[in-house]
Amino acid sequence: MDLHVIGPLASPAERAAVDAVLGPATSGWHGGGRDARTEGHAARGGHDARARRDLLLPALHALQDRVGQITQPGLNYVCRRLSVPPAEAYGVATFYAMFATQARPPAVAHLCDDIACRLAGAEDVIADVARALGPAGEPAHDGTLSWLRSPCLGLCERAPAALFTIAGEHPRRFASAPVDAASVVGGLEASAAPADEDARASARASVPQLGDPALRLLARAGVVDPTSIDDYRAHGGFRALANAIAMGAEATIREVTDSKLMGRGGAAFPTGRKWSAVAAQPAQPHYMVCNADESEPGTFKDRVLMELDPFAVVESMTIEGFATGASRGYLYIRGEYPLAEARISHAIEAARAAGYLGPDVAGSGWSFDIEVRRGAGAYICGEETALFESIEGKRGEPRNKPPFPVEFGLFGKPTAINNVETLANVLIILGGGEGPETGDGVGGGARFAALGTEGSTGPKLFCLSGAVARPGVYEVPFGTTLRELLDLGGSVPGGRSIRAILLGGAAGVFVGPETLDTELTFEGTRAIGASLGSGVVMVFDETVDLVGTLRRIAAFFRDESCGQCVPCRVGTVRQEELLARLADPMAGSGSGAGSRSRADELALLTDIGRAMRDASICGLGQTASSAIESALRQPELVAL
């Protein structure tokens, strides 16, 4: 390949930022000093450079964080360093919403206007901010700052939320919630996070059950110091890892299989079966990936786990790596979670320093380490194969399955991928099945399986938000009814009644109040045509503008479709147009598609939804019409 790079040279700041990720350039061909005697005619390092393609995303982050945008010279420098064709790198940079390929001020507030924040008045905050700073994306205050709308930031329990990204020599990223216009402008002007709140109070805001002795997954959340490995150990930390190493990989997988643990990311695949399939693959090496790209609107449980109990994530990843014969683990975290990323990164370093990661894990002689990779604003990268592509330094476009990740995953190798909550359950199983601090782990799988119901074992986290008195992450055993869960969260404020509940997020379904006695299990929700999805339970009272919510969901999928396959790329556009026509039937009357009857429009929506569900490559397109169709099927929910 003949790398063709045009344009001016990168600035010293850009080069330094990229070099901080990639190391200094060793050759003139890659941007360093050129020695004519040794490099006059021979290009070296092509394969070496290309083998580091997976560092493209971190290098792009470095540019974005340093100068607030990705410039052509900056991108060219990355291309030279990694031997990536500029057209491909440009394709990657323009895929992710957090990368700016056009001029953008260094300080930007990303204001969430997604479902939960809308319910909490995000549009009012945005209108106020627009009055103070001008329209979205326009530079304000002499070009030093700006604001943008953002999809769900995963802070739904404290909505409305904002994420601040401050580029510069010492880049800062921080989230804040709840925000108002004054705190947004203040945060931008000060370019600093609000003073540290009381950590325990903040934990209680996310975990209302804090201190309940029945908690297993959340037992340590808000109780331990998330920055102290000693405190983690004092609360049963690394016990499960020691148990796993003591019983060996096969027995570890057996316990997980016995537990009947099913993946909590939405697909509900049996975790034990996944692990044993990876462990049995002859191809080497094996990889272990933790999917922390929790981007489903309304979901924030993984963020809470990572922020409040980060060592548990590190320990469970290590166990999974051990069981599946992996030598390296990757944790892919969404770019909207700066605090969780900082805590996880710190936990990995502390675990490495204490010998729980590295060439000799916990004295076992087995070598394992974890790398953190930060996403850059793409919901689709929560899809496992899109996530692999993203780590590999490509556009986050899902692969066709089969082959499945257990056989052909990250870098084309057998890969065990689980999300954060699934991994948290592993600690309970290997800890003895009762809680993280008991037992030698043997029989833990069977004890875990006794929790919950026959088809859905163990405890489950739910992200309760919207019209409830105490939103937050709740841990209940499987089999708890929707009504019982809502009672935990307190009644609907203002004595209003429930009109609808969104189960499973934007990719889930709306149900009415008549389903309150449904058991929250995989099989129970399936029976009412719903799914648990990522554990979102969002409550809408009678005053809510559900039509606006549906249009926001349609806009979300239109924005987040990767654009690879036709059904999703065009279907999400047609769906959004159709909803706009339904919501405003007079606007287009007499012309074009605006003159159609409601029944015709609903029939068309059914056709669109069916083609997306049947013919799309991945779960995003397959579920993009789910919530909208479910709401429109129930005229008592939405009068459209």
Q: Which is nearer to other proteins, 106 or 571 (CB)?
A: 571
Q: Cα–Cα distance between 584 and 581 in angstroms, integer?
A: 5
Q: Which stretch binds other proteins (CB under 8 A): 83-91, 123-131, 194-202, 440-448?
A: 83-91
Parallel, antiparallel or unpaired: strands 498-503 and 369-374 = unpaired
Find the binder of other proteins among 341, 383, 389, 560 (CB under 8 A): 560
Listed in order, strand segments (DSSP E) in 126-181 are 145-150, 162-166, 172-176
Q: Which is nearer to other proteins, 16 or 570 (CB)?
A: 570
Q: Which is nearer to other proteins, 323 or 555 (CB)?
A: 555
Find the binder of other proteins among 8, 12, 47, 87 (CB under 8 A): 87
Structure-block tokens of residue 15: 């080069």
Measuring CA to CA, which residue among 365, 230, 248 is closest to residue 311?
A: 230
Parallel, antiparallel or unpaired: strands 145-150 and 107-112 = parallel
Q: Which of residues 409-438 bind other proteins (CB under 8 A)?
A: none
Q: Which is nearer to other proteins, 30 or 399 (CB)?
A: 399
Q: Smallest gap, in angstroms, from Cβ of residue 531 to other proteins?
A: 13
Q: Which is nearer to other proteins, 377 or 471 (CB)?
A: 377
Measuring CA to CA, which residue among 9, 96, 44, 72 is closest to residue 397?
A: 96
Q: Residue type at 541?
A: D
Measuring CA to CA, which residue among 101, 606, 65, 155 is closest to residue 374?
A: 65
Tell me if 602 contacts other proteins by CB under 8 A: no
Tell me if 210 contacts other proteins by CB under 8 A: no
Beta-carbon count within 10 A of 618 CB: 22
Tell me if 623 contacts other proteins by CB under 8 A: no
Tell me if 566 contacts other proteins by CB under 8 A: yes
Running DSSP on this structure, what letter comes out for residue 157?
A: G
Residues 6+ apart with CB under 8 A from 232: 220, 224, 238, 309, 311, 312
Backbone torsion region of residue 625, taken as left when φ is above 0, otherwise alpha when ψ lies between -120 and 50, otherwise beta = alpha
Structure-block tokens of residue 49: 């450079």
Tell me if 593 contacts other proteins by CB under 8 A: yes
Q: Smallest gap, in angstroms, from Cβ of residue 23 to other proteins?
A: 24
Cis peptide before 285 (omega within 30 of 0): yes
Tell me if 555 contacts other proteins by CB under 8 A: yes
Q: Cα–Cα distance between 496 and 544 in angstroms, integer?
A: 11
Q: Smallest gap, in angstroms, from Cβ of residue 505 to other proteins?
A: 17
Tell me if 10 contacts other proteins by CB under 8 A: no
Beta-carbon count within 10 A of 71 CB: 20
Q: Which is nearer to other proteins, 440 or 577 (CB)?
A: 577
Q: Cα–Cα distance between 314 and 348 in angstroms, integer?
A: 6
Q: Which of residues 440-499 bind other proteins (CB under 8 A)?
A: none
Q: Smallest gap, in angstroms, from Cβ of residue 71 to other proteins?
A: 10
Find the binder of other proteins among 561, 625, 626, 630 (CB under 8 A): 561
Tell me if 216 contacts other proteins by CB under 8 A: no
Q: Which stretch binds other proteins (CB under 8 A): 146-154, 166-174, 406-414, 528-536?
A: 146-154
Tell me if 374 contacts other proteins by CB under 8 A: no
Find the binder of other proteins among 85, 270, 443, 512 (CB under 8 A): 85
Listing DSSP states for 597-616 in one string gives -HHHHHHHHHHHHHHHHHH-
Tell me if 72 contacts other proteins by CB under 8 A: yes
Q: Which of residues 21-60 bind other proteins (CB under 8 A)?
A: none
* Pattern 381-410, other proteins, x by CB under 8 A: --------------x----x-x--------
User: Angle at the Cα of 364 (from 360 to 369), degrees rounded to 5?
Assistant: 40
Q: Which is nearer to other proteins, 148 or 488 (CB)?
A: 148
Q: Which is nearer to other proteins, 216 or 395 (CB)?
A: 395
Q: Which of residues 89-118 bind other proteins (CB under 8 A)?
A: 89-91, 94-97, 100-102
Listed in order, strand segments (DSSP E) in 490-585 are 498-503, 509-511, 536-541
Tell me if 162 contacts other proteins by CB under 8 A: no
Residue 360 is inside which H or E element, if any? none
User: Angle at the Cα of 568 (from 267 to 528), degrees rounded to 5?
Assistant: 40
Q: Which is nearer to other proteins, 204 or 613 (CB)?
A: 613
Q: Which is nearer to other proteins, 36 or 639 (CB)?
A: 639
Residues 6+ apart with CB under 8 A from 491: 468, 469
Listed in order, strand segments (DSSP E) in 493-587 are 498-503, 509-511, 536-541
Measuring CA to CA, which residue among 472, 495, 618 is closest to residue 557?
A: 618
Q: Smallest gap, in angstroms, from Cβ of residue 14 to other proteins?
A: 15
Residues 6+ apart with CB under 8 A from 504: 266, 296, 525, 530, 531, 532, 533, 534, 535, 536
Measuring CA to CA, which residue among 503, 622, 617, 627 is closest to residue 554?
A: 627
* Pattern 534-553, other proteins, x by CB under 8 A: -----------------x--
Number of residues that bind other proteins (CB under 8 A): 77
Q: Smallest gap, in angstroms, from Cβ of residue 536 to other proteins?
A: 20
Q: Which is nearer to other proteins, 149 or 204 (CB)?
A: 149
Find the binder of other proteins among 313, 617, 628, 637 (CB under 8 A): 617
Q: Which is nearer to other proteins, 213 or 590 (CB)?
A: 590
Q: Which stretch binds other proteins (CB under 8 A): 123-131, 438-446, 534-542, 561-569?
A: 561-569
Tell me if 233 contacts other proteins by CB under 8 A: no
Q: Which of residues 124-143 bind other proteins (CB under 8 A)?
A: 136-137
Q: Which is nearer to other proteins, 457 or 575 (CB)?
A: 575
Q: Which of residues 571-590 bind other proteins (CB under 8 A)?
A: 571-574, 576-578, 580-581, 583-588
* Pattern 164-203, other proteins, x by CB under 8 A: ----------------------------------------
Q: Smallest gap, in angstroms, from Cβ of residue 333 to other proteins?
A: 18
Tell me if 559 contacts other proteins by CB under 8 A: yes
Residues 15 and 31: beta-carbon distance below 8 Å: yes
Tell me if 19 contacts other proteins by CB under 8 A: no
Q: Cα–Cα distance between 243 and 324 in angstroms, integer?
A: 16
- Name the H helices within 410-536: 420-430, 444-449, 482-488, 522-527
Measuring CA to CA, which residue among 223, 266, 275, 236 is closest to residue 428?
A: 236
Q: Smallest gap, in angstroms, from Cβ of residue 103 to other proteins?
A: 12
